[in-house]
Amino acid sequence: MITKPLFGPWDYVILAIVLLISASIGVYYRFTGGKQKTMQEYLLADKNMPIFPVAFSLMASFMSAITLLGVSSENYTYGLQFIVINLSYGIATPIAAYLFLPVFFKLQATSAYEYLERRFGKTSRLAASLSYTLQMTLYMGVVLYAPALALEALTGISQLAAILSVGIVCTFYSTIGGMKAVLMTDVFQSILMFVAVFSVIICALVDKGSF
């Protein structure tokens, strides 16, 4: 049982550096290139980002605290049946890539909601936008709360402080840096997540001696 926080001074320094780098990426893209002055640059990253950061960002969109903490707990407690969800990705991804995306690209639509307005009218776009906004608002609450629980258990940092620090930094770089900042911070944070996951696996194997 954990009786005291496990974080030391250097751990706090590393955590602060990670948050600072994420915020700095937003500042960098705010004052470079087109400086986020056009809607195309702000929302679409000028449509000139390399494949690597875009692919990493898409992957990071599926890796949240819910994935790292919740799915791990689910697999440990109930077994690996949760992995079946990946079958749906294998079916849905080609359909989205080859059926829907070409339509959006041809129309030069900023989002799926813009297509809904063109096809079915403004009411349809508003209804879909509001429902998705509600869904993501609830989802973001869970995504922020989950790591806050882990930080509180390991560091003694209050849940409120953890939620505010992470939430403010993410809002900051997204707001001032636009899509370019979001893509590049996703790359940075994805690398950290992969390093952390494989470090845990290696440490567990060393500790137990085998699978």
The two three-digit tokens of residue 147, written as one number: 């790591």
pLDDT confidence bin for 131, thresholds 50/70/90: very high
Is the model's pLDDT at 210 over the cut of 80? Answer: no
Least confident of 14-23, 43-52, 61-70, 117-126: 61-70
- At 147 the pLDDT is 82
Is the model's pLDDT at 2 over the cut of 70? Answer: no
Tell whether pTM > 0.85.
no
CA distances from 90 to 49, 51, 93, 99, 105 (A): 25, 20, 6, 14, 22
pLDDT confidence bin for 128, thresholds 50/70/90: very high
pLDDT digits (tens, 9 = 90+) for 49-84: 888 888 888 888 877 777 788 888 888 888 888 888
> 189 near 65, Cβ under 8 Å?
no
Q: Which of the two residues, 152 and 124, has the higher pLDDT score?
A: 124
pLDDT confidence bin for 3, thresholds 50/70/90: low
